[in-house]
Amino acid sequence: YHESKLVVSSLRSSSDGKFYFREVLLKTQENDLAVEYGAIEIALQHLPDELCPLVVEARQPLGGLLNEHRIPYSSAPRAFLKVSPDGPIVEAFGDIESDELFGRSNEITGFNGDVIARIVEILPPLDEN
C-alpha cells in the first residue's frame, strides 16, 4: 500500500476558528485498507485562505493538499510511540489482536517556521499473513 493513493475517513472534527482538530483514518483508495489512525491539530491561520475549506472538507491528507498547492513545508517526527490500543484506536481499526501498536508524533512547519500542524499517527498491527 506504500504507493497507494490515500483518502481520509473523518471520525471526529471540531474547530474554534483558528485551529481545526480532527481524528481520521487514512485508507487506501483502491481497496479501503486502513493504514493509519491520526489525530491532528491544524493551525488554519498559517494556511492560505483558499486552502482552509479543503482542509476542513477532510477528504485528502494535509500533506497531500500542501503538495498539491505547492506550499513549502517540512515534516519532522518529534517522538516515536508505543501505545496500548484504546477506545478511539479500536474504533478506528476494529478488532485488534495486539497489545501494542506503534506510531509517532509529528510536526509540520511552514518555510517561515510557523507550526502548521501537530499530528499523532498510529499504525495498525502488521498483517502476519
- Residue pLDDT, tens place only, 86-117: 877 887 787 777 889 999 999 999 999 999 99
Is residue 7 within 8 A of residue 29, CB to CB? The reply is yes
CATH number at residue 42: 3.40.1410.10
Does the global pTM surpass 0.75? yes
The answer to the question of residue 87 being in a domain is: yes
The answer to the question of residue 59 being in a domain is: yes
Band (pLDDT 50/70/90 cuts) for residue 127 is low
Q: Which structural domain, as residue segments, surrounds residue 60?
A: 6-122
The answer to the question of residue 80 being in a domain is: yes
Q: How far apart are CA 129 and CA 126, in angstroms?
A: 9
Q: What is the pLDDT of residue 2?
A: 62
- Name the nearest CA neighbour of 45 among 22, 24, 20, 27: 20
Q: How many domains does the chain have?
A: 1
The answer to the question of residue 23 being in a domain is: yes
